[in-house]
Structure 1
């Protein structure tokens, strides 16, 4: 059971109160009210899964969204540096962990749960295979068939070795509702094969999921034309409306919330649209084809030849 942090409650309430009293934040207040309206229509918090290569800023984006909501940066999702994985497990960050305002009405809002996982290795993607290591990992997570804190590094190694995983029954509390694909703007490369795999897992397997995308590290890309071109290309690659893509510069420890909050909250409002739902697909059943005899049936036994020229009538 998650313990309530009184200090965190005070910070959240102070932050929301400052928004209400600042004329400069009229748009932020408007967006916050739009978000609240959506959240009031949702019966339970949505599980939002962050997918992408390692080092793209998935964990940092989770912390950034929570900072925009609460006004305080904290390491709810662990972040690292370099080429090593900082997240190696299935980590569910429940809304109850970060959302504890004193205001009873606000506390009841069903803000999202964030599912942080290991960065996917593009070398484990293959356009000629259906069940790659990445696609198997995604399929298990999307359908709630892995437990919280599952060691995903270990799972990946076992799948690479060709071992068959014993699937657990579906856990409804971990079934994914929304997919957010995270791509870094730090370089020009686009993980085409990985994006194709994510699209296939999100649309063609057992469920269809609403998909959004975030382009992180926008401070690393000063060419606005190139940035917009990449945004449009990714939208086409995963077949989503370009308005479902957020260009974002993540917060870091020690930074105070600023004007980027409005766009982040607008994006969150879209994620929490009550009309968007994961849909379980019902496959059409077909009758098994029955074997039919050809027009000319070959004899099944050797005929008895006539004897002594006599008819066998």
Structure 2
């Protein structure tokens, strides 16, 4: 069995190899999933693997019930200041910590996901307030409030995080993300796309 230090070194090597392939601007990656499954901890771990130093780039336990309440950006130009100089020549991703969504595949969840994937909701806005407004007034007032403009940054990749402590995969939310990804061809998702290839039973066996 590979020792923990060896596993960490191997992961670090693979991350550097991928970074060397990107010579352009940073990829934008959104990390999404149900509330409280550890998305923020996952992001902190990724950045620790890159920089070799642990820092709480996104707070775990922000708000009630350890739930992230706003969409939070962690930019590579910020965290790479703490990396070794020999790594600063490479381009690493900008990462978006998306507020946790309940397991639902309704119009509001899909529209909110789309707004976040096009970064139309400002980072100082409480996302659950946007969801509440859409559920009471419909989606169009929010679309008008946060229009799609040329300045809106697009998400390039999506990582879906679920908890192994829960035996039920959040298939509703997974399908909502999949629907948005399939409509927005630029966005690629690690879990949502893989889900298309398997039956529910087969996919659950692959959950870690």
Q: Which bracket does the TM-score occupy, shorter chain normalised?
A: 0.7 to 0.9
Q: Secondary structure at the match of 1:59?
A: helix
Task: Check if 1:174 corresponds to 2:157.
Answer: no
Contact 2:19 2:90 in 1 (8 A): yes
Using structure 1 for the length normalisation, give the TM-score. Answer: 0.54
**1:75 offset after TM fit, Å?**
1.1
* Aligned-partner Cα distance in 2 for 1:111–1:174: 16
Q: Which residue of 2 is the match for residue 107 of structure 1?
A: 88
Q: How many residues align?
A: 193
Higher helix fraction (1 or 2): 2
Among candidates 13, 18, 30, match of residue 35 of structure 1: 18
Residue segments in structure 2 that go unaligned for 5+ positions in a row = none
1:53-90 deviations in whole A, cap 9, x for unaligned? 00111111000101111222211111118973531112
* Aligned-partner Cα distance in 1 for 2:58–2:135: 27
Among candidates 203, 212, 237, match of residue 195 of structure 2: 237
**1:146 offset after TM fit, Å?**
2.2
Among candidates 115, 120, 138, match of residue 140 of structure 1: 115
Question: CA 1:59 to 1:24, structure 2 compared with 1: closer, same or farther past 3 Å?
Answer: closer
* Aligned-partner Cα distance in 2 for 1:147–1:70: 27
Higher Rg: 1
CA RMSD between the two structures: 3.1
Using structure 2 for the length normalisation, give the TM-score. Answer: 0.78
Task: Check if 1:73 corresponds to 2:54.
Answer: yes
Q: Which residue of 2 is the match for residue 211 of structure 1?
A: 189
Task: Check if 1:157 corresponds to 2:132.
Answer: yes
* Aligned-partner Cα distance in 2 for 1:117–1:96: 19
Question: CA 1:82 to 1:143, structure 2 compared with 1: closer, same or farther past 3 Å?
Answer: closer
Contact 2:156 2:186 in 1 (8 A): no
Residue segments in structure 1 that go unaligned for 5+ positions in a row = 1-21, 214-233, 248-313
1:124-148 deviations in whole A, cap 9, x for unaligned? x24xx5x2x2111111111232223
Taking the TM superposition and a 5 Å limit, the aligned residue runs for 1:1-313 are 27=10, 30-39=13-22, 41=23, 43-80=24-61, 84=65, 86-100=67-81, 101=83, 103=85, 106-122=87-103, 125-126=104-105, 129=106, 131=107, 133-163=108-138, 164-165=141-142, 166=144, 167-170=146-149, 172=151, 174-203=153-182, 205-213=183-191, 237-239=195-197, 247=208
**1:110 offset after TM fit, Å?**
1.3
* Aligned-partner Cα distance in 2 for 1:64–1:246: 19
* Aligned-partner Cα distance in 1 for 2:7–2:186: 40
